[in-house]
Amino acid sequence: MRSPLGLFRKVAIAEAVTWALLILGMVLKYGTETTDLGVRVFGMLHGIVFVAYCVTTVVVAVDQRWSLGRAVLGLASAVPPFVTVVFDQVVERRGGLGTTWRLRAEQPAGVLEKPVAWLLREPLRGLAAGVVAVAALTGLALLVGPPAS
């Protein structure tokens, strides 16, 4: 979590890699009809990383003062395979991913900035809160509608 750019890039790449693994699992399950293990394992992994990407996108969007449109586009980029990497590159080129966390130094203003500032100023607690949020949101997603086989 040294910088918004570094964190966002790592999670965007991880999301794309898990997409590739899930697609491989789908090829094995539906294309070759050899095993569904890849879909079960990589599907769960991709789901967890997808949620982590969404949480990361919200934190970075608040800290970097992204417009609502850019934030929604960032979230939507996780749906089609590999688009998170493209989104990361475009946003960096347009100056939307800094090398420092704004809310570590600036006073937070507003309802969203206060919890994000706390997460960024208390890195270990922030990481723990992020892990809990990802676990809770993944569990909720599975409870609401687990993927069909």
- Block means of pLDDT (10 residues each) for the chain, 149 residues, are 93 97 94 90 94 97 97 97 98 95 95 95 92 93 76
**How high is the pLDDT of residue 8?**
97
Q: How far apart are CA 105 and CA 5, in angstroms?
A: 17
**How high is the pLDDT of residue 109?**
94
Asked whether the beta carbons of 15 and 78 are under 8 A apart, the reply is yes
Using the Cα atoms of residue 2, residue 134, residue 78 and residue 109 in order, give the sign of their dihedral. Answer: negative
**How high is the pLDDT of residue 147?**
66
**How high is the pLDDT of residue 1?**
72
Domain positions in the chain are: 4-144
